[in-house]
């Protein structure tokens, strides 16, 4: 089977999968806005990691024992094999389209209606994209699971790291070489921080993507030279300081203050907030100064 541009699955499975994800984002009706014209998501970035990447074991310490390794979620889904197959992880970044980012940039207290719709309907699209990738791999004879679509996935408050879950899309994207964390905890990629993330674990062998960044905070100006705290200034909840991100304050604001009190005005169940993701130097790119340093 070939994609429209003639990429053969057997010859180049990484390119084939990347192309399939790009095409789904471009063509799926679920990525068309419910109100007005346009889309939620622009062209995605796609990366790959080995299921045996030592980072996944390290996440047991960095996040908590509860965080699945690829092997754990795969075995829970498909049963334990005596000799486990080598696994791969596919991760993608969905950048908000310019119009949605622009609408949120203008706000200083609550998210724009468009942003709230992207949080609600755009994540529904992300769920469909995870299913699409699972189906595609099954059609090719491989097993695949999107941890966030699995009944085994849960979110909760851990005593040590606060709000967390059994599969972190951002830590997975970091293992796939797609970006790094910022002062706000936001994940900063070559397409910026105004993004959402998704992933799938499979027994299809895939070549891991290069890891371009020297450490897990390398794309954030604050951690490079303390020159920026724009996300902290933007946060209407006072949840971001030089000590980092107060997840309880952030959650209280985006779920309670915006999510329940203002919900009727948005007409969607989940609104998000995302002011820290827009009108900041890392909104749509890795800040220029950091990019230049990578080129040297």
Interface with ligand B12 includes 114 (CB under 6 A)?
no
Tell me how far, at minimum, the Cβ of 7 lies from ligand B12, in Å.
27
Q: Please, which residue, 16 or 115, has the CB nearer to ligand B12?
A: 115
Tell me how far, at minimum, the Cβ of 203 lies from ligand B12, in Å.
22
Interface with ligand B12 includes 228 (CB under 6 A)?
no
Q: Please, which residue, 116 or 204, has the CB nearer to ligand B12?
A: 116
Contact pattern for ligand B12 over residues 195 through 214, marking x by CB under 6 A: xxx-----------------
Given the rule CB under 6 A, which of 4-12, 41-49, 219-227, 268-276 is the region that contacts ligand B12?
268-276
- Cβ partners under 8 Å of residue 200, min gap 6: 89, 90, 130, 133, 134, 137, 144, 145, 146
Q: Which of 272, 280, 281, 283 binds ligand B12 (CB under 6 A)?
A: 272
Q: Please, which residue, 71 or 278, has the CB nearer to ligand B12?
A: 278
> How big, in percent rounded to 5, are the helix, strand and coil portions of the chain?
40, 15, 45
Residue 143, classified by CB atoms within 10 Å of its CB into exposed (0-12), middle (13-18) or buried (19+), is middle
- Cβ partners under 8 Å of residue 39, min gap 6: 25, 31, 32, 33, 97
Interaxial angle between packed helices 13-27 and 123-139, expressed in degrees from 0 to 180 and rounded to the nearest 10: 140
Pair 137, 144: CB distance under 8 Å? yes
Interface with ligand B12 includes 219 (CB under 6 A)?
no
Q: Which of 31, 88, 91, 168 binds ligand B12 (CB under 6 A)?
A: 168
Reduced to 3 states (helix: H, G, I; strand: E, B; else coil), residue 91 is strand
Tell me how far, at minimum, the Cβ of 12 lies from ligand B12, in Å.
27
Tell me how far, at minimum, the Cβ of 33 lies from ligand B12, in Å.
16
Quote the CA–CA distance of 107 and 184 in Å, as a whole number: 18
Interface with ligand B12 includes 193 (CB under 6 A)?
yes
Pair 113, 271: CB distance under 8 Å? no
Interface with ligand B12 includes 285 (CB under 6 A)?
no
Q: Which positions from 171 through 190 interact with ligand B12, judged by CB under 6 A?
A: 171, 174, 181, 184-187
Max Cα distance, the chain (Å): 56
Residues near ligand B12 (CB under 6 A)? 62-63, 119, 148, 155, 161, 163-165, 167-171, 174, 181, 184-187, 193, 195-197, 216, 245, 247, 250-251, 254, 272-274, 276-277
């Amino acid at each position: 089977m070939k994609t429209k541009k003639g990429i053969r699955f057997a010859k180049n499975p990484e390119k084939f999968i990347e192309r399939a994800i790009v095409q789904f984002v471009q063509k799926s009706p679920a990525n068309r806005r419910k109100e007005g014209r346009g889309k939620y998501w622009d062209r995605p970035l796609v990366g790959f990691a080995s299921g045996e990447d030592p980072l996944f074991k390290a996440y047991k310490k960095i996040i908590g024992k509860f965080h699945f390794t690829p092997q754990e979620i795969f075995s829970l889904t498909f049963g334990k094999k005596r000799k486990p197959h080598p696994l791969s992880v596919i991760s993608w970044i969905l950048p908000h389209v310019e119009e949605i980012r622009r609408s949120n940039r203008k706000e200083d207290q609550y998210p724009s209606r468009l942003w709230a719709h992207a949080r609600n309907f755009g994540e529904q699209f992300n769920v469909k994209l995870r299913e699409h990738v699972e189906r595609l791999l099954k059609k090719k004879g491989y097993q695949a699971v999107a941890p966030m679509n699995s009944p085994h996935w849960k979110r909760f408050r851990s005593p040590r790291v606060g709000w967390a879950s059994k599969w972190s899309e951002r830590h997975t994207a970091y293992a796939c070489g797609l970006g790094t964390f910022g002062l706000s905890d936001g994940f900063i990629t070559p397409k910026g921080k105004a993004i959402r993330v998704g992933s799938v674990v499979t027994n299809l062998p895939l070549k891991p993507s290069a890891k371009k960044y020297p450490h897990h905070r390398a794309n954030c100006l604050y951690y490079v030279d303390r020159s920026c705290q724009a996300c902290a200034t933007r946060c209407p909840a006072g949840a971001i300081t030089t000590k980092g991100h107060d997840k309880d304050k952030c959650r209280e604001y985006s779920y309670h203050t915006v999510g329940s009190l203002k919900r009727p005005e948005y007409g969607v169940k989940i609104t998000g907030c995302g002011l820290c993701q827009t009108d900041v130097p890392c909104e749509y790119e890795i800040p220029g100064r950091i990019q230049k340093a990578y080129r040297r």
